[in-house]
Structure 1
Amino acid sequence: MVQIIVVIAILLLLVKPAGTYLYHVFSNEPNKTDRIFGGVERGIFKLSGLHKREGMSWKTYALSFLSTNIVLVAFGYIVLRLQAGLPLNPNGITGMEQTLTFNTVISFITNTNLQHYSGETGLSYFSQMAVITMLMFTSAASGFSVAVAFVRGITGRASLGNFFEDFVKAHTRVFLPLALLITLVLVGLQVPQTLKPSIQLTTLEGQVQQIATGPVASLESIKHLGTNGGGFFGANSAHPFENPSPLTNVIEILSMWTLPAALPYMYGLFAKNKRQGWGIFAAMMTLFVLLLSLNYYAESSGNPAINSMGIDASQGSMEGKEVRFGIPQSSLFTTVTTAATTGSVNNMHDTQTPLGSITPLALMMLNNVFGGKGVGLVNMLMYAILAVFLCGLMVGRTPEFLGRKIEAREMKLIAVAILIHPLIILVPTAASFLTDLGQGAISNSGYHGLTQVLYEYVSAAANNGSGFEGLADNNTFWNMMTGVVMLLGRYVSIIALLAVAGSLLRKQPVPETIGTFRTDNGLFTGILIATVLIIGALTFLPVVVLGPIAEHLTLR
């Protein structure tokens, strides 16, 4: 418990300074960071022809975001297909199969990082750096830019901003300097960073063994800072080269958690009402602690089936967990990686107890508990607008949020963003059980098999990328199905919510009166939490009952 509390306490200390720094980066107001990064950025803007960088409409912003992503996808696809003939391939890795290539580039551009391949055997060093690491930076910067544009829109700034300016600033002032710092720290803590080929060792039995290595530390840093999650190795952060000690485990947890947790405070500064930001943060943290407690309790209690056999399970369920982390840091990592939609794993989620597996599932289903780079804040603000609308209906008043009326257009767009999430999870899950191609990948029968399939689509739709890993998913069916789900899960909601921001930005502010429903107090935070839980339960509780809950009752 102390391990968990200390990490959460460190995070709480980092939220305010990190959120303040992010505000200075994206407020477009003169500040001290201009002296450090301004010269480099002006050079980039001059080279790319971005001289004026005027504010964009929501349509132009969305189009700029999409066109940039399309170019990056095309580049990544070509490199992965041709990697056998490209440099920095000392281990002779062949080109990637076409459907797997499609799945991989879509996975990394959408900040999902769902891996149907094993990095040490499927990618060359050049591909790891020029495609995987590059997309980790650019997808995170894209998500950050959209989140900042949404915040500008709902807080009444002059415009949503300029996507390309936000995109460059996210790189130069946030991700590149932080990634460099974390890389150096990880190298100092024995995480490899080399371009040498795999190490060949002869075992005591006289057999030759290949030990994969490579530029691991640089990928690990942005993997967590950008809430990406794709590992250099197939075992991800359970691999001792990626995550060798409890200290690196804590560093990786804080790396993927700090920036998403700081965004609500940044939002409060944009809104000129810090209580607004702390209210959103409190809602996120409440949901986080509740689900962390469930996972820790379930894993500490052990497997009911093993307990009933009289076997000593006093240390809890250690199946699929690394001894160097134990249950506390495994539970915390599991909760953070799904709350922040990172997808990195330091233990096998497939081997968690049925009740314990509800935590990562629920966090991805809710899709707004901290979230990835900007996703969590935007989704939580979406639910805040919905909560205001529902409260307005109940008391017979026109709902208002941050001084702007919430009307039919905004609610239709929010309905699209809310409904697309369960649609692209539940429909593909059902379809997979109706085909031999889908059922053939399931390694467990019964309730656990259902959870395997459900988890795969929940992870893809939430742009998380973690997996139960008991699913044989590297085939044409699963590569294409999850690829489409990742595309819809990323872009439909982003475009809809940018449209909401653009709509609110055009409205004239409404003066605050004594009858205005306040959104910066404890009451509203409670209403927001209830709204999230009720909508989540209405959409996903039946399938959770058919999966992990039914499995738990069967084990008992």
Structure 2
Amino acid sequence: MLQIVLTLILYLLPLIPVGNYVYRIAAGKHTFADPVMDRVDHAIYKLCGVNPERSMDWKRYAGTLVGTNLVMILLGYLILRLQSLLFLNPNGIGSMDPSLSFNTIISFMTNTNLQHYAGETGLSYLSQMLVIIFMMFVSAASGYAACIAFIRGLAGRTSDQVGNFYSDLVRIITRVLLPFSILTGLLLVWQGVPQNFSGNIVVDTVEGARQIIATGPVAALESIKHLGTNGGGFLGANSSTPIENPTILTNLIELWSMMLLPGACVVTFGRMVHDRRTEPGTGSTVPQPVRQSLTARFFGKEGRSIFAAMGILFLIGLAVCFWAESQGNPLLSDLGLSQSMGSMEGKEVRFGTAQSSLFTAVTASFTTGTVNNMHDTLTPLGGMVPLLHMMLNVVFGGKGVGLMNMIMYAILAVFICGLMIGRTPEYLGKKVEGREMKLVALCIIIHPLLILSFTALAVTVPAGLAGITNPGYHGLTQVLYEYASSAANNGSGFEGLADNSFFWNITTGAVMFLGRYLPMVLQLAVAGSLMKKRFVNETTGTLHTDGIGFAVILVFVVYIFAALTFFPVLALGPIAEQLTLWA
């Protein structure tokens, strides 16, 4: 318990400064990196032939984002199909087949990093760098850019412009992802993570067998995979292997890396909205107190309530996961085997139950997908926590997506509260009317629709049933987890499925693509609709959305929606398995 508490406390320390730094980048303010990075940015703009000064409305911004991503999907697909003919392939790895190439490139461009292959045997070093690592930078930056444009729309400084996608994309990479990745990579190399272009090493083990040890540019991938909430591993065993995650210190570095920027996005949101509410000439008539609390000053008042709601959801999930894993397996206890360390099946002894439970909760909540233990061997309730958090997709989330999804629930919450008192709902000083609620409802419905409909398809058709290796309750959970991970752009898996087949590659690829871009476009549409509206005066009947009370309301709305939508299928999967195990 002390390990978990100290890890979370140390995570909070850099959160405010990093959030303020990202805020300055998003607001176009001066940063310490500008003297060097401005030259790099201009070289990139000139090479690509784009005008970073041209402002875009939400439609052009969304279209540019999707179009740019599609071009990179095509180029990455070609590299995967031709990797056997290209250079930097010392291990002689062949090209990927069409369906797996489709799944892989969609997975990494959508920031999902779902892997139906083992990296050490399925990719050349060129593919690892030009496709995997490159996509990790670009996909993460695309998500953060969309989030920044979304926040600009909510702040409502202009009536139709949300920024320039190219400028946001490049500045996020050069000023945030790249320098932070270099620092993280050096720390990982210091702790023993490989970074080279050597071929695989063949060694003789103490048992007299021969073992192949994969090396390569591992540290470079590990750093951006966590900072960009990507999650794809250089190796098939991901961060549970000592090559990717050798020590407890690297485990902490990877934990903090994947948590840092999603949490900082909430700080950025609070600061940008606070600026709009306090600067003259913006049309806002919302009064601001002369003295603010410490949390309001650092997070921004609106950011404080959102962060509190996310934090409550995260801590509840973490507590359930840690408790479930600490209880052990009752069947082993019945055999007289000690369970004093909890359920250690599928866990690394250098991390134990505490760090494994924390890593599990973090990777699902921050939609990273990296794992330091086998999720397929989690206890039923322990495994339900990452599954549920991916279904919610609002517990911090990754690359700004969690914040945007939570704002959708915030708008839904003020709408429900407005219905209770017979008043037109307001959020951030703007009236929420029919158009916005239709867009919000559609955005919220897409996620469970993708998960549940494709799960139903998989357990119905022979091609889907052929991949299920466990016919019981756990088998349904495996299928549900696969599509929840795909729709939430998480990428982790229970790994009990035989998922490298045409059916699973195509269906999960479709879910990843739709789960990424449909909600993102709808969220930008919501921001574009709200930014055109005039600010309204705050009255005694206005629902305050900047306090702990609203955070609690938000938590209840999220859980009620989850219960109504997902409880039946959860009852057939992990809940039924838990009741059977402890019967």
TM-score when normalising by structure 1: 0.98
AA partner of residue 501 (structure 1)? A
Q: 1:425 is matched with which residue?
A: 451
**1:283 corresponds to:** 309
| Structure 2: gaps spanning 5 or more residues | 275-295
Distance 1:441 1:24 in 2: 48
Cα distance in 2 for partners of 1:366, 1:73 equals: 27
The equivalent residue for 2:167 is 165
Match of 2:239 among 237, 240, 243: 237
Contact 1:58-1:160 within 8 A present in 2 as well: yes
1:422-501 equivalences under 5 Å are 422-501=448-527
Q: Which whole-Å deviations, capped at 9, do the CAs of 1:436-455 have from their partners, x for residues lacking one?
A: 11111111121011101111
**DSSP 3-state at the match of 1:81:** helix
1:214-255 CA-to-partner distances (Å, cap 9, x unmatched) read 110000000000000000000000011000011100000000
Summarize deviations over 1:497-554 as a string: whole Å, max 9, x none. Answer: 1100111111111122232211111111111111111111111011111101100111
Contact 2:486 2:511 in 1 (8 A): yes
Letter in 2 for 1:126: L
**Partner Cα separation in structure 1 for residue 30 and residue 347 of structure 2:** 48
Q: Which residue of the partner structure matches residue 45 of structure 2?
A: 45
Match of 2:574 in 1: 548
Q: CA deviation at 1:32?
A: 4.0
How far, CA to CA, are the matches of 1:77 and 1:214 in structure 2?
A: 22
Instruction: Return the offset for 1:470.
Output: 0.7
Whether contact under 8 Å (2:111, 2:489) holds in the other structure is yes
Instruction: Rate the CA distance shift 1:424–1:52 in 2: closer, same or farther, 3 A.
Output: closer
Partner of 1:271, secondary structure, is helix
The equivalent residue for 1:98 is 98
Structure 1 residues 378-419: Cα deviation after superposition (integer angstroms, max 9, x where no partner): 111111111111111111111111111101111111111110
Partner of 1:185: 187
Give the partner amino acid of 1:211.
I
| One-letter amino acid of the structure 2 residue matched with residue 82 of structure 1 | L
Distance 2:516 2:343 in 1: 35
Distance 2:54 2:434 in 1: 30
Q: 2:421: which partner in 1?
A: 395
Conserved? CA contact 1:460–1:482, under 8 Å? yes
The partner residue of 1:174 within 176, 188, 196 is 176
User: Which deviates more from structure 2 when the two are superposed, residues 328-337 or residues 273-282?
Assistant: 273-282
Corresponding residue of 2:111: 111
Pick one of 516, 540, 545 that aligns with 1:514. Answer: 540
Q: SS at the partner of 2:449?
A: helix
Distance (whole Å) between structure 2 residues aligned to residue 205 and residue 246 of structure 1:
27
In the alignment, is the contact (CA less than 8 A) between 2:468 and 2:498 conserved in 1? yes
Q: Give SS of 2:203's match.
A: strand
Deviation string, structure 1 residues 280-327 (Cα, Å, up to 9, x no partner): 111111100000000000000001222233322111100000001000
Aligned letter for 1:262? Answer: A
Shift of residue 33 of structure 1?
Answer: 3.9
Counterpart of 1:201 in structure 2: which amino acid?
Answer: V
Contact 2:45–2:52 (CA under 8 A) maintained in structure 1: no
Partners of 2:38 and 2:304 in 1: CA distance: 30
Aligned match of 2:122? 122
AA in 1 matched with 2:226 = H
Q: Give the C-alpha shift of residue 31 in structure 1.
A: 4.4
Change (3 A) 1:42 1:451: same
**After the TM superposition, which segments of 4 or more aligned residues of structure 1 sit over 6 Å from their partners?**
none
CA RMSD for the aligned pairs?
A: 1.2
Of 386, 389, 394 in structure 2, the residue corresponding to residue 368 of structure 1 is 394
CA contact (8 A) 1:343 1:464 kept: yes
1:148 alignment counterpart: 148
**Aligned-partner SS, 1:38:** helix
Structure 2: distance between partners of 1:73 and 1:111: 12
Tell me which amino acid in the other structure corresponds to 1:54: R
Once residues 9 and 36 of structure 2 are traced to their aligned partners in structure 1, the CA distance between those partners, rounded to angstroms, is: 30
Q: Distance in 1 between matches of 2:212 and 2:49?
A: 48
The CA distance in 2 between the partners of 1:63 and 1:338, in whole Å, is 29
Larger mean CA deviation between 504-513 and 259-268 belongs to 504-513
The share of aligned pairs that are identical, in percent, is 57
CA drift of 1:205 comes to 6.3
- Aligned-partner Cα distance in 2 for 1:340–1:288: 10
What does the per-residue CA deviation read over 1:44-64, in whole Å, with 9 as the maximum and x for residues that have no partner?
223333345222111100110
Instruction: Give secondary structure in 1 for the equivalent of 2:397.
Output: coil
SS of residue in 1 equivalent to 2:263: helix
Moved more, 426-435 or 34-43: 34-43
Q: Residues 323, 203 of structure 1: CA spacing in aligned structure 2 closer, same or farther, 3 A cutoff? A: closer
Cα 1:149–1:52, aligned 2, differ >3 Å: closer, same or farther?
Answer: closer
Distance 2:304 2:427 in 1: 16
**Deviations for 1:75-115, whole angstroms, at most 9, x for unmatched residues?**
11000000001000000000001000000000000000000
| Counterpart residue number, 2:9 | 9
Bigger mean CA deviation after superposition, 303-312 or 529-538: 303-312
Counterpart in the other structure of 1:217: 219
Equivalent-residue separation in structure 1 for 2:205 and 2:252 (angstroms):
33
Q: 2:326 aligns with which of 292, 300, 307?
A: 300
Deviations 1:119-167 (A, max 9, x none): 0000000000010000000000000000000001011122211111000
| Separation in structure 2 between the aligned mates of residue 512 and residue 344 of structure 1, nearest angstrom | 44
**CA contact 1:24–1:33 (8 Å) conserved in 2:** no
- Seen in structure 2, the aligned counterparts of structure 1 residues 318 and 207 have a Cα distance that, compared at 3 Å, is closer
Q: What's the counterpart of residue 539 of structure 1?
A: 565
Residue range with higher mean Cα deviation, 272-281 or 57-66: 272-281
Q: Which sections of structure 1, spanning at least 5 residues, go unmatched?
A: none
Instruction: Report the 3-state secondary structure (helix = DSSP H, G, I; strand = E; otherwise coil) of the residue aligned with 2:192.
Output: coil
SS at match of 2:202: strand
Q: In 2, Cα distance between the equivalents of 1:157 and 1:72? A: 32
Higher mean alpha-carbon deviation, 170-179 vs 35-44, is at 35-44
* 2:434 aligned residue: 408
Q: TM-score scaled by structure 2?
A: 0.94
What is the CA–CA distance in structure 2 between the aligned matches of 1:473 and 1:55, rounded to whole Å?
Answer: 43
Asked if the contact 2:108–2:132 (Cα under 8 Å) also holds between the matched residues in 1, the reply is yes
Aligned to 1:24: 24
Distance 1:49 1:119 in 2: 34
For the residue of structure 1 that corresponds to 2:29, the secondary structure is coil
**Structure 1 residues 2-26: Cα deviation after superposition (integer angstroms, max 9, x where no partner):** 1100110011112111110000111
2:21/2:31 contact within 8 Å kept: no
SS of structure 2 residue aligned to 1:520: coil
Question: Of residues 368, 371, 374 in structure 2, which corresponds to 1:345?
Answer: 371
Helix, strand or coil: the match of 1:265? helix
| Partner residue in 2 for 1:258 | 260
Query: Quick check: 1:25–1:33 contact (8 Å CA) kept in 2?
Result: no
Residue 131 of structure 1 corresponds to 131
- For the residue of structure 1 that corresponds to 2:230, the secondary structure is coil
Aligned length: 556
